[in-house]
Structure 1
Amino acid sequence: MSEGFVYILKNEAMPGYIKLGFTQQNDVEARMRQLHTTGVPLPFECTYFARVPDCRRVERALHFVFADDRAAASREFFRIDPDRAKAIVELVAIEVETLSDQQQQITPEQRHAIEEVKSRAEAMTFERLGLPIGTVLIFTKDPDVTCTIVGTREVDFRGEVMRLSSAALIAVREMGYSWSTVRGSDYWAFDGVKLSAMTPPESARVEGG
């Protein structure tokens, strides 16, 4: 066994993809710097970093489980929700660490650029997706859990009006995960399609420029 660290990286310039990897030297910052080449406009962020008893074995298990979602056979990039990988690692994690921007060497300017990209992605409204008020959305982890669209970005979840991410976080925590944030569009679906995978109808794209 080789104790070490398993990490999950994401980049807002590569929506939908994450990088899964391991290190025995606690040098994930160096790995992130290597990835941030001139061809990548934004730096990578470490969304999850955990010490595990056998990092090589955990990484192999993750790569095996998500093999069908791999971007390329020779790369460690996967098109999956990072929470899916995190849920597996948490089963064996000895300690979970949170890395600050300073530790990740993300400058204030880079953080501002990252947050701007995030805010633009979150600005997508139900109307832009062609989902009118009254549409029922299904929780992807349990089809018996639903919410109903009641506003531009708000839903009615069990009699309370809230944002999609808040509703998803409640449902995820009820599954036993003590996470602090989730991206709502990854956890709610309409007609079998996650909202994060939906594209606006042609009319909405034209109207929105």
Structure 2
Amino acid sequence: MEGYVYVMSNKAMPGLVKVGFTTGTPEERAAQLNGTHSPHPVVVEYSTHVPDARAVEREGHLRLRKHREGKEWFRCSRELAINAIKRAAGDLARNEFSRVEQERQQAAYQEQARQHREAEKRARDEEQRKAGLRIAVEQRYGPRLAKCFPSFWSVYGWSCVTVWFVIACFPGATFMGGLFGGAILGFILAFVAKGVLDDRAMKSPAYVAAAAERQRELDAIDRSGPPPAPASSTSTPAKPTVSTRATAPAPRLVRGDYTIEPPTGTIAADKSPEQLARERAARVNQDPAA
């Protein structure tokens, strides 16, 4: 009978797990078991799809027979029950779901997200620290560099004097005309002269030396601080899937590869093929539908 074999638990019954099978989905079966008799809902711990769910359930019950509390309930850890179902299903296990693995993935995602947030915060703090140091360097070298350039108003004053002297050389020039004409033409001449003088100032030894010192300090600030974190730790982690149950799983070997926590208790030893064949034949004789 094709279906799901599952392991369920209930917070109201600590230490007990339910091992059963259903031809529907484990979630539907858990919803059927929930009722007013328990203050907590039944939780699906593990499930797997197998061709003969009833046979795998029986085999799992036989492996857990030393821990049977009653009917389908066993007093053992969920890891022990899951291992028993995995060993009973063998290579036939398909479409497995594990709440333990889902919780582990969620915890890993949350840890990666926390590390990502911390890395971003460290990067922001480091950039703010460097920005403050750059501002301090600019404020310290700003007045020193500014002294290398002539003041515009001083250049404008000398430009006005030069223009007034030129205008005074022309016959018929009036005082007011020379005054306003000198002010206007002096502004134009000062604008041109300021550009020429600034270019010369930027090539002066004093400016070149100060600018080189400022750049060395700025480069030292850029090189300071912690080394950049690896790309894997700063990249945004991928969010895990909501459910680990696959839609079209590929066959894989499952014997002995499920180690979540050290199981508490023991599982019955594997039986020989001849013994399993005799037990299945006996079950068929007792229940032809098996």
User: Fold match, TM over 0.5?
Assistant: no
- Normalising by structure 1, report the TM-score: 0.44
The structure with more helix, counted as a fraction of residues: 2
Which is higher, the Rg of structure 1 or of structure 2? 2
The structure with more strand, counted as a fraction of residues: 1
Relative contact order (C-alpha < 8 Å, sep 6+): which is higher? 2
- Normalising by structure 2, report the TM-score: 0.33
